[in-house]
Amino acid sequence: MTTFFLTSTTTSPSPPCLLQRRRFSPTPHLQASLMQRIGVFSLNCRSRRSLMCAINQDGLTDTLRTADPDEAKDEGNKVELEALLQKSSCANEAWSQFSKRVSGEWDGFGADFSNEGKAIELPESVVPEAYREWEVKVFDWQSQCPTLAEPEDNILVYKNILLLPTVGCEADAATRYRVDERQVGGANNGASAFAYQSSGSYVALWQKEDELLELEYCLISPQDPESRVRTIQLLRVSDNMKMALQSIKVFREQWYGPFRNGDQLGGCSIRDSAFASTAPMAASQVAGIWHGSKAVATFTSPNSGIFQEVLEGNIQKQNCVRDACNEILLPKQLWCSFKQSKDGETHSEVGWLLDHGQAITSSCLFSSTAKLKEISLALETKGLEEDV
């Protein structure tokens, strides 16, 4: 079992984390809330009209961009408006950095695992005859994930491309087996929830069918921004709203170059290899007490939408005790978990063990009715045995 202890909350300046923006027309309730907030400032009629116009067209970001702190007659109101403008600028900068770091051609290998972490063989129909003759088991897909985040429009598009296995290095002969296109934001948005970090990491929730959800975690290594892992949990929601983990997908990917919409394959130059059949991480590496800070995005408000901005006040320090017996151990220093608490809430987590006892983790919390409550990202350090 994984146990969390929140020890403190800080509002001191923090590194960019989980900063998200909404880019949709606000609801009437949100418009009223914004105008109530803007009404605090003693602005002239011309500025009020421009502010209201900005709200109706593009929401809070353009509203703040239009406002002029020098027109606030009260000094306290001027300070508050300047703070709002600064937060808006921070959100813009976070998305710009995210766009730069997540966009490009990501090539690598992907594999399917059972809900217990056992690697699943590829369908026999896609395995080359040469492998079948020699009774060689194949577990990994070679994969591509061309990704583009629009820096101005807050839209993320990407393709999950699976390539048929080949014998030897036959990159030029690679054939696409399946292409799954995804979009976050904009008119063709398909995500139910999305949280991103300026580093390029993100978490997305996708509704696949009435009873099936995909929970996608993308973690970029803080030690190597051209290396990332995507762990996808397939979840089933029963009629009584109980959630269960069905299977796991893992993609280990390297940044190969700028975005080309998948027109060029890394092929033999890919800086990685098949991994599904390699040994899982040792239980002792994840068991114990972990210290760190996490950034939390909450989705409990009726006006939360799929994007949110996580403010500095949502940076939380925590201690976390993990029991490896309840963790799903995967190859390449990866693990994940999916468990329910006594009050019916469901907690999902993925982790990637880095060097020197550090790990990058991400988690989601669902209510007893299978509604997403929060998403978090954290950088943790494993404590000493005597700390347990």
Question: Is 196 domain-assigned?
Answer: yes
Residue 273 · residue 366 · CB < 8 Å: no
Sign, Cα dihedral of 82, 185, 159, 143: positive
pLDDT of res. 29: 36
Question: Is 1 domain-assigned?
Answer: no
Which one of 43, 73, 99 terminates a domain?
A: 99
Pair 77, 119 in one domain:
no
pLDDT 10s digits, 279-315: 999 999 999 999 998 888 889 887 677 877 554 456 7
When mean pLDDT is compared across 63-72, 96-105, 151-160, 375-384, the lowest value belongs to 63-72
Most confidently modeled range among 42-46, 161-165, 262-266: 161-165
Pair 38, 180 in one domain:
no
pLDDT of res. 204: 96
Pair 147, 29 in one domain:
no
Rounded Cα gap, residues 94 and 20, in angstroms: 8
What CATH number did the domain enclosing 142 receive?
A: 2.40.128.20
Residue keyed to tokens 């239009």: 66
- The residue with greater pLDDT, 188 or 26, is 188
Sign, Cα dihedral of 156, 184, 309, 227: negative
Which one of 99, 124, 142 terminates a domain?
A: 99
- The residue with greater pLDDT, 60 or 193, is 193
pLDDT of res. 23: 37
pLDDT value at 367 more than 70: yes
Which one of 69, 99, 129 terminates a domain?
A: 99
326-353 mean pLDDT: 96
Question: Is 161 domain-assigned?
Answer: yes
Q: How confident is the model at residue 239 (pLDDT cuts 50, 70, 90)?
A: confident
Rounded Cα gap, residues 215 and 370, in angstroms: 13
pLDDT of res. 154: 86
Q: How confident is the model at residue 265 (pLDDT cuts 50, 70, 90)?
A: low
When mean pLDDT is compared across 63-77, 162-176, 247-261, the lowest value belongs to 63-77
pLDDT of res. 153: 83
Amino acid at 270: I
Mean pLDDT of the chain: 79
Pair 278, 334 in one domain:
yes
Sign, Cα dihedral of 50, 51, 54, 55: negative
pLDDT of res. 222: 92
Residue 42 · residue 72 · CB < 8 Å: yes
Supply the range of the domain harboring residue 147: 100-387
pLDDT 10s digits, 5-53: 433 333 333 333 333 333 333 333 334 334 434 333 333 434 333 333 3
Task: Report the run of H or E that residue 131 belongs to, with start and end.
Answer: helix 129-133
Pair 68, 211 in one domain:
no
Pair 235, 142 in one domain:
yes
212-220 mean pLDDT: 97
196-208 mean pLDDT: 92
pLDDT of res. 24: 37
What is the token pair recorded at 332?
A: 């390449």
pLDDT above 70 coverage of the chain, percent:
70
**Into how many domains does the chain fold?**
2
- The residue with greater pLDDT, 179 or 313, is 179
